[in-house]
Amino acid sequence: MIFEQFNMTEKEKDIYTIAFYNLENLFDTIDDPDTFDDDFTPDGVKKWTPRRYKKKIKRLARAISTIGDENTKHPPVVLGIAEVETFEVVKDLIQDKNLVNYNYGIVHYDSPDERGIEVAFLYRKKYFELLESKPYAIHFKRNDGSIDYTRDVLYVKGNLNGELIHFLVNHWPSRRSGTDNSEYKRIAVAELNKKIIKEKVQNIDDEKVIIMGDFNDNPTDKSIKGSLLTEDFYNPMESLFDKGMGTSNHKGEWCLFDQILFSKNFYTSGTHLYENAGVYSKHFLKDKFGKYVENPFRTYKGNWYKGGISDHFPVYVSLTLQEKKE
């Protein structure tokens, strides 16, 4: 998508960014005996030191502060994030000098994920009034009878510039055991999202809903197009994927696992209307050299410390704030 040069007109001042970003293992450096975080300690195999942690925080905060700036010149009013270890690391992130002046609030819950990585929801208090939040847990049984825990689905309800919107933040089970072998898990979490919407949304025609996350599936995969994407929702990421765009790269192939879906009434009614969507892939977010050039500039490749930002690009949608009629 081509954007015109930014001029600070009244109309453009009223465009707001909603974004999602997988932060690639934003761990602190402290060993938690209850999770498998040993690699991300100074003595672990990744040699995760306070200096490296602070560098990652700084670079992530800078990236977040510029998401969607083609339209708005200010950072997202709402941001879903994945792969954060604790509330404290999220707090460190929003207190960085690149973000502290924007007065972000945090919604975060500890989850039973075995690695200790979770999702969170950030919102600028100037624009978003938090009304309700709740984590929804899901787990699976392994063949030996043990429990396979995954990340919660985070539900958040609030008023954005006075308009009620429901948000769901996701990080679905990975493909590590094989795409086909793990597909049923992602379909199960898709069904959980639909259950939450049915429970929390009184009338999908009147109330707006945004579903975001790292789904570990592409927009055309069964868990998304066959399950999550009901007739009430639109997925702008599918057209981006059709154009060859992606947020992560695996063995030379682009994947668009990070997506934002929204209820179709963002096209027709209410205070905020859909403007556009994009993958945020500015030059400073990309690897500059070697075989991974133009890929997301990641922090680690295996146990090799590259010193980058994240192995994912963020995604965003832009919403235009309509003038309220008297």
What would the pLDDT profile of 65-103 be if each residue is shown by its tens digit? 999 887 887 899 999 999 999 999 999 999 999 999 999
pLDDT at 162 over 70: yes
Give mean pLDDT, residues 16-26: 98
Provide the token pair at 161. 């510039």
Q: Which domains does the chain have, with CATH numbers?
A: 11-321 (3.60.10.10)
**Measured between alpha carbons, how far is 58 from 56 in angstroms, rounded to an integer?**
5
Supply the pLDDT for residue 3.
33
Give mean pLDDT, residues 276-281: 97
pLDDT at 32 over 60: yes
pLDDT at 11 over 80: no
User: Lowest mean pLDDT: which of 38-42, 92-96, 160-164, 166-170?
Assistant: 38-42
- DSSP assignment of 23-38, as one string? EEEE--SS--TTSS-T
| Residue 1: band (very low, low, confident or very high) from pLDDT cuts 50, 70, 90 | very low
Helix (H, G, I), strand (E, B) or coil at 59: helix
Helix (H, G, I), strand (E, B) or coil at 200: helix
What would the pLDDT profile of 282-301 be if each residue is shown by its tens digit? 999 999 988 899 999 999 99
Give mean pLDDT, residues 52-77: 93
Give mean pLDDT, residues 250-256: 94
pLDDT at 119 over 70: yes
Supply the pLDDT for residue 320.
96
pLDDT at 9 over 70: no
User: Lowest mean pLDDT: which of 141-145, 174-178, 316-320?
Assistant: 174-178
| Residue 123: band (very low, low, confident or very high) from pLDDT cuts 50, 70, 90 | very high
- Longest Cα pair distance anywhere in the chain, in angstroms? 63
Give mean pLDDT, residues 147-162: 96
- 224: buried, middle or exposed (CB in 10 Å: 19+, 13-18, 0-12)? buried
**Measured between alpha carbons, how far is 79 from 315 in angstroms, rounded to an integer?**
10
pLDDT at 205 over 60: yes
- The residue ranking higher by pLDDT, 178 or 168, is 168
Give mean pLDDT, residues 150-176: 96
Supply the pLDDT for residue 5.
34
pLDDT at 138 over 90: yes
Specify whether the CB–CB gap between 261 and 234 falls below 8 A: yes
What would the pLDDT profile of 213-240 be if each residue is shown by its tens digit? 999 999 999 999 999 999 999 999 999 9
R_g of the chain, CA atoms, integer Å: 19
Percent of the chain with pLDDT over 90: 81
Give mean pLDDT, residues 35-51: 94
pLDDT at 241 over 70: yes
Kindly report the pTM of this predicted structure.
Answer: 0.94
Q: What is the mean pLDDT of the chain?
A: 93
- 22: buried, middle or exposed (CB in 10 Å: 19+, 13-18, 0-12)? buried
Q: Which amino acid is at 219?
A: P
